[in-house]
Amino acid sequence: MEMREERYLTFALGKGRLASKTLELFEKIGITCEEMKDKSSRKLIFENREKKLRFFLAKGPDVPTYVEYGAADFGVVGRDTVLEENRNVYEVLDLGFGKCRMCVCGPESARELLQHHERIRVASKYPGIAKDYFYNKKHQTVDIIKLNGSVELGPLVGLSDVIVDIVETGSTLRENGLEVLEEICPLSARMIVNPVSMQMETERVKDLVNRLKEQIGA
């Protein structure tokens, strides 16, 4: 077979804490991206020329979009976003950090509304996950209201009966007199791969995933 030059593999990283954690992990397996550490930089794309890797930061919910269309070969984003966006991508690795839970939360008084399968109002940043949970798993008809943040306000100001949201330490709930009423699923950071990249670059993808796995296990 004719020798071909390795093409660049591109990573889309969800902005914020997950991205820093991801870069820390990559450093441990010898993949560095010095340029990206310069916080004052406004540059959007960074590369490691020696290893033929490129990185960019995107809004979390956009990461699966870049990966589905092949604009990025890989993505790192929370499982909440993978589930909500429901894109045509492969989930290949649980990176083990960013652990939290997707839950139905509300005041204690909402517990019986859930038990009796009442037609309640559910506020969430994750309408897709909320819908799947109530309609497909619980077979309960509810009204879902999409919010973009500070979702705990929903039950406090009378917008909704409950919320579907991420719980990490539980302190946001505690400080607002709310509690976990039902648990939907565990969450953590995931690595996703474009299906065509998976076919065309199988060896490089496998090699990278294996090295990360070893490092995570260590």
- Is 157 one of the binding residues for ligand PRP (CB under 6 A)? no
Using CB positions, name the residue nearest to ligand PRP: 149
Nearest to 91 by CA among 181, 192, 214, 16: 192
Residue 132 CB, shortest distance to ligand PRP, in Å, is: 18
Find all residues with CB under 8 Å of 5, minimum gap 6, and list them: none
150 contacts ligand PRP (rule: CB under 6 A): yes
Provide the minimum distance between the beta carbon of 205 and ligand PRP in the complex, in angstroms, as a whole number: 30
Is residue 169 within the footprint of ligand PRP (CB under 6 A)? Answer: yes
**DSSP characters over 132-158:** IIIIIIS----EEEE-SS-TTHHHHHT
Q: How far is the CB of 37 from ligand PRP (least distance, A)?
A: 23
Q: Which of 63, 167, 178, 208 binds ligand PRP (CB under 6 A)?
A: 167
Left, alpha or beta for 64 (phi > 0: left; psi -120 to 50: alpha)?
alpha
Taking a C-beta distance cutoff of 8 angstroms, is the pair 163, 58 a contact?
A: no
Residue among 86 and 150 whose Cβ is closer to ligand PRP: 150
CB 58 within 8 A of CB 15: yes
Q: Is 6 exposed, middle or buried (0-12, 13-18, 19+ CB in 10 A)?
A: exposed
Residues touching ligand PRP, count (CB under 6 A): 13
Geometric angle at alpha carbon 176, from 172 and 181, rounded to 5°: 80
What residues from 123 to 142 belong to the interface with ligand PRP (CB under 6 A)? 125
**Given the rule CB under 6 A, which of 48-56, 61-69, 81-89, 161-169 is the region that contacts ligand PRP?**
161-169
Shortest distance, position 55 Cβ to ligand PRP, whole Å: 23
Residues that bind ligand PRP (CB under 6 A): 125, 149-152, 165-172
